[in-house]
């Protein structure tokens, strides 16, 4: 259990503040995370990493010479927003391009992808390499669907060393992909982690059992088995990982870097007991052990668990893995002297851009938007715990708190824009940016896209009649399907918003009043959301858990239906 905190809502921000103060030799605070505090004599490609907080030393602890140039640091177990990633990347950029690399989680993919597009629009060459080392999260034939766990360190380190050596962006990207392709990991847990202010862990493991195939965001394991001894766990780790050697690796004779990682509350002494057998079994299999690592490299708050990562390097990857680096949490050898960075931090502001001209009719609609967003935020405050419990069945339990943070920020940003005379379109765009930035995670990215699509349809000039609102909701539905690549039947929010949008468009097209049409569409969305309980997840974190989510509706679909109901109450009074 996490014991030392003030307001749980402020935990991540206060943690990052304390980390930068304690690590000023290596990092400086920038909007959205941290960047290097020093720079070499010659500019290099910038390697920018990131993810949710709660995984120290990942991600901020790995910023420094020879490793990462910056880390975007999201809220607890929530991906950083596109705004945060973009800001950190701009601060880290040295003029030779940016490589974004991070674990393959839906929210991270969406937000880092948006940031990459924005960087390219401003003339910064940017590439992305996903870390996909977790063998338990998808079968061999679906390597690109696997999530990233402690193998993050390998890809980050190799990419950072390549940049330090003067590689250009093409070559840094290439060698990072090689490192990822040659890395495999497998994790287990004996108990879940508890976030600051929470009264119970995100998941529990029955007495005498061990969860296998867990992620690093508090997701439950994919299976449970009897609790093994240290030697039995080591044998399980090694046998499972040797059963899937990367292409081009042959035993005996292959060189291997083992990384035994503690997930939060397993002591180093316990890890050493496990490692002694890991080392022996690898040598018995004919592997040549190179520079093993035992410790904490990618944690999950106070989770009781461990993972084993095996890197099977070629000559180039091994040289880069062994190259010097100097960061707050990971150091090797001696790096060359460098100068302190003196320029001001890069900051992205969401609300300082000027407000454009809007018609009086559109400003009236903007006021209704503000009321609706405030109602959504109040409802999500009340429902956050229930949505979180629903999400814990086969996810990481953060859906409720992410929706709560995002909706609060969106409501505040919308109110501020409307006070400055914004029309409906601009008000929704400001709300979308705030939701994406503060909500983080998959839901933050998706709701940001949805509100922006609605704002684009409503605009700042014309009144919003029922047909225009219907078209805007359809635009929201189309945008989220295009952005998130989900489709009906995948057990996502799509299963609620698509029938809602279709029903609304049909009703208003037939001449129905907006509030009446919305009421009928809301009933359909409610039913559709509950019907997801009979589906097997095919996208997102729940996908890795197969049928475990059967019997529980998708939290994203449920939250959308609840939002539709909350907005309906506003429409009954305002329209």
Closest to 50 (Cα-Cα) out of 125, 103, 13: 103
pLDDT at 547: 57
pLDDT at 200: 84
For the stretch 356-369, pLDDT in tens is 899 999 999 999 99
pLDDT at 462: 83
Answer for the pair 401, 437: CB distance below 8 angstroms, yes or no: no
Quote the CATH superfamily of domain 8-329.
Dihydroxyacetone kinase; domain 1 (3.40.50.10440)
Query: Average pLDDT for residues 392-409, to the nearest whole number?
Result: 83
What is the C-alpha end-to-end distance of the chain, expressed in Å?
48
Of 193 and 172, more confident? 172
Query: Average pLDDT for residues 173-192, to the nearest whole number?
Result: 96
Place of tokens 């193998």: 151
CB count in 10 Å sphere of residue 239 = 12
pLDDT at 543: 52
Query: Average pLDDT for residues 445-460, to the nearest whole number?
Result: 95
pLDDT at 281: 98
User: Which value, in Å, is the radius of gyration of the alpha carbons in the chain?
Assistant: 24
- Backbone phi, then psi, for 327, in 5-degree steps? -130, 170
> Average per-residue pLDDT in the chain?
92
> Does the pLDDT at position 397 exceed 90?
no
pTM of the model: 0.87
pLDDT at 535: 87
pLDDT band at residue 78 under the 50/70/90 scheme: confident
CA atoms within 13 A on the CB side of 480: 29
Query: Average pLDDT for residues 466-479, to the nearest whole number?
Result: 95
Top mean-pLDDT range of 112-116, 334-338, 462-466, 488-492 = 112-116
> Does the pLDDT at position 400 exceed 70?
yes
Query: Average pLDDT for residues 121-134, to the nearest whole number?
Result: 97
pLDDT band at residue 218 under the 50/70/90 scheme: low
d(Cα 465, Cα 463) in Å, to the nearest integer? 6
DSSP 419-434: HTT--HHHHHHHHHHH
Question: At 99, which helix (H) or strand (E)?
Answer: strand 98-103
CB count in 10 Å sphere of residue 356 = 12
Answer for the pair 99, 41: CB distance below 8 angstroms, yes or no: no
pLDDT band at residue 351 under the 50/70/90 scheme: very low
**Where do the structural domains in the chain lie, given as residue ranges?**
8-329, 360-574
d(Cα 87, Cα 34) in Å, to the nearest integer? 10
Catalytic residue among 55, 86, 111, 217: 217
Quote the CATH superfamily of domain 360-574.
DhaL domain (1.25.40.340)
For residue 545, indicate whether it is catalytic: no
- DSSP letter (8 states) at residue 539: S
Which of 367-397 are b and which e, b meaning 16 or more Cβ less than 10 Å from the residue's Cβ?
ebbbbbbbbbbebbeebbeebbbbbbbbbbb
- Backbone phi, then psi, for 27, in 5-degree steps? -130, 160
For the stretch 517-558, pLDDT in tens is 999 999 999 999 999 998 876 665 445 445 566 778 999 999
Which residues contact residue 358 at a Cβ distance below 8 angstroms, ignoring those fewer than 6 apart?
Answer: 366, 421, 422, 423, 424, 425, 426, 460, 461
pLDDT at 439: 87
For the stretch 294-314, pLDDT in tens is 999 999 999 999 999 999 999
Query: Average pLDDT for residues 275-286, to the nearest whole number?
Result: 98
Which residues contact residue 191 at a Cβ distance below 8 angstroms, ignoring those fewer than 6 apart?
Answer: 201, 204, 205, 265, 303, 304, 305
pLDDT at 388: 85
Of 351 and 419, more confident? 419
CB count in 10 Å sphere of residue 315 = 8
d(Cα 409, Cα 81) in Å, to the nearest integer? 13
Least confident of 21-25, 239-243, 382-386: 382-386
């Amino acid at each position: 259990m996490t014991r030392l905190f003030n307001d749980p809502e402020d935990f991540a921000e206060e943690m990052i503040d304390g980390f930068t103060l304690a690590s000023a030799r290596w990092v400086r605070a920038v909007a959205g995370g941290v960047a290097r505090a020093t720079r070499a004599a010659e500019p290099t490609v910038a390697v920018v990493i990131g993810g949710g907080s709660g995984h120290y030393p990942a991600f901020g602890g790995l910023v420094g010479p020879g490793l990462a140039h910056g880390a975007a640091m999201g809220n607890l177990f929530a991906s950083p927003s596109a705004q945060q990633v973009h800001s950190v990347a701009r601060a880290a950029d040295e003029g030779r391009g940016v490589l974004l690399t991070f674990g393959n989680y839906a929210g991270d993919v969406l937000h880092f992808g948006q940031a990459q597009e924005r960087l390219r629009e401003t003339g910064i060459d940017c590439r992305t390499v996903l870390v996909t080392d977790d063998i338990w999260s998808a079968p061999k034939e679906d390597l690109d669907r696997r999530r990233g766990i402690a193998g993050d360190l390998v890809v980050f380190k190799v990419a950072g060393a390549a940049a330090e050596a003067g590689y250009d962006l093409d070559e840094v990207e290439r060698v990072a992909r090689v490192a990822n392709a040659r890395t495999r990991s497998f994790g287990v847990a004996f108990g879940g982690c508890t976030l600051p202010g929470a009264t119970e862990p995100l998941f529990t493991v029955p007495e005498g059992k061990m969860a296998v195939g867990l992620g690093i965001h508090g997701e439950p394991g994919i299976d449970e088995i009897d609790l093994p001894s240290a030697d039995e766990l080591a044998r399980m780790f090694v046998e499972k990982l040797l059963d899937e050697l990367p292409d081009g690796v042959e035993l005996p004779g292959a060189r291997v870097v083992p990384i035994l990682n503690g997930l939060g509350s397993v002591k180093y002494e316990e890890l050493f007991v496990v490692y002694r057998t890991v080392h022996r079994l690898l040598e018995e299999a004919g592997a040549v052990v190179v520079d093993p690592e035992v410790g904490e490299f990618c944690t999950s708050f106070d989770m009781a668990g461990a993972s084993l990562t095996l890197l099977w390097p070629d000559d180039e990857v091994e040289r880069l893995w062994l190259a010097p680096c100097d960061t707050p949490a990971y150091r090797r050898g001696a790096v060359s002297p460098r100068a302190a960075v003196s320029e001001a931090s890069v900051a992205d502001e969401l609300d300082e851009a000027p407000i454009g001209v809007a018609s009086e009719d559109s400003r009236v609609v903007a006021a209704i938007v503000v009321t609706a967003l405030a109602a959504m935020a109040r409802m999500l405050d009340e429902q956050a715990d229930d949505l979180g419990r629903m999400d814990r069945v086969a996810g990481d339990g953060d859906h409720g708190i992410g929706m709560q943070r995002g909706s609060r920020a969106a409501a505040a940003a919308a109110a501020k824009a409307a006070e400055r005379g914004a029309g409906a379109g601009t008000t929704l765009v400001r709300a979308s940016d705030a939701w994406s930035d503060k909500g983080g995670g998959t839901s933050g990215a998706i709701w940001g896209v949805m509100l922006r699509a609605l704002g684009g349809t409503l605009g700042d000039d014309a009144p919003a009649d029922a047909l225009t609102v219907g078209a805007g909701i359809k635009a929201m539905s189309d945008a989220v399907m295009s952005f998130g690549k989900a489709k009906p039947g995948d057990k996502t929010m799509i299963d609620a918003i698509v029938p809602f949008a279709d029903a609304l468009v049909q009703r208003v097209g037939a001449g129905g009043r907006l509030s009446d049409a919305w009421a009928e569409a809301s009933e359909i969305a409610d039913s559709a959301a509950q019907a997801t309980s009979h589906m097997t997840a095919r996208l997102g974190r729940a996908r890795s858990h197969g049928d475990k989510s059967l019997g529980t509706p998708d939290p994203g679909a449920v939250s959308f239906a609840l939002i539709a109901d909350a907005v309906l109450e506003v429409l009954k009074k305002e329209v």
